[in-house]
């Protein structure tokens, strides 16, 4: 059985752990800088003492998964551990088109759908029941939250957070490090770094 280790021991780490196990992977341990968590267990897997510094003691054949929901923090951790191998996770109850591309470290949770010729960036998250339709491009470190729906050829920039239940119309562009609030409709573009939300149409704030 292939082995992985997870960086982070919070909510998203738990989801990554269960997605990994559903794929038949063994989660050997988790790493977290919160000392309160050292030597505890998360869903039966040990949290190592020593925090992220202890990753250097891990067998290099064990792939890592960054189980941290914060996009900027995921980017920083990926930079810190450049050169290590990262697993790409796809839950068996997700569907990924054979013509789609998932980059290293991307995570696709249960119920998610990745359609024809979509491209999902490094360490991006497609969360529970999120969907990316044909030709969608999702940048590195972006997070498509639970139940968000991206219609055909939507582009989502690096590090963007597309909130729970968002609906983005075909061809919409969500910029780098932008945030779209939960439940909003994206019917135009959201510029880089902008937070847009509201009932109905997402408007910049």
Q: Tell me the catalytic residues.
A: 134
Residue 70 as a binder of ligand COA (CB under 6 A): the answer is no
CB of 63 or CB of 114, closer to ligand COA: 114
Contacts of 194-202 spanning 24+ positions with Cβ under 8 A: 197/163, 202/166
Residue 198 as a binder of ligand COA (CB under 6 A): the answer is yes
Residue 67 as a binder of ligand COA (CB under 6 A): the answer is no
Smallest distance, ligand COA to C-beta of residue 198, A: 5
**Cα 205 to the chain's mean position, in Å?**
25
Smallest distance, ligand COA to C-beta of residue 22, A: 19
- What x-and-dash track marks residues 77-116 binding ligand COA by CB under 6 A? ----------------------------------------
Smallest distance, ligand COA to C-beta of residue 47, A: 22
- What x-and-dash track marks residues 118-157 binding ligand COA by CB under 6 A? ---------x-----------------xx-----------
Q: How many residues bind ligand COA (CB under 6 A)?
A: 13
57 closest CA partner among 31, 39, 34, 19:
31
CB of 50 or CB of 193, closer to ligand COA: 193
Which one among 179, 186, 190, 194 touches ligand COA, defined by CB under 6 A?
179
Interface residues toward ligand COA, by CB under 6 A: 127, 145-146, 163-164, 179, 181-183, 195, 197-199
């Amino acid at each position: 059985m292939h082995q992985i280790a997870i960086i982070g021991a919070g909510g998203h780490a738990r989801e990554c752990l269960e997605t990994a196990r559903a794929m038949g992977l063994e989660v050997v341990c988790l790493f977290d800088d919160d000392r309160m968590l050292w030597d505890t267990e998360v869903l039966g897997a040990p949290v190592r003492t020593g925090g992220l510094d202890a990753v250097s003691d891990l067998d290099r054949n064990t792939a890592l998964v960054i189980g941290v929901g914060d996009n900027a923090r995921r980017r920083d951790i990926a930079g810190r551990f450049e050169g290590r191998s990262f697993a790409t996770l796809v839950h068996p109850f997700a569907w990924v088109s054979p013509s789609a591309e998932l980059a290293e470290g991307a995570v696709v949770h249960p119920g998610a759908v990745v359609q024809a010729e979509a491209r999902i960036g490094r360490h991006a998250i497609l969360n529970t029941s999120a969907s990316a339709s044909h030709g969608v491009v999702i940048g590195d470190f972006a997070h498509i939250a639970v139940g968000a729906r991206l219609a055909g050829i939507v582009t989502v920039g690096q590090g963007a957070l597309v909130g729970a239940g968002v609906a983005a119309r075909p061809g919409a562009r969500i910029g780098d490090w932008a945030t779209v609030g939960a439940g909003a409709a994206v019917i135009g573009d959201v510029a880089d770094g902008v937070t847009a939300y509201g009932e109905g149409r997402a408007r910049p704030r």
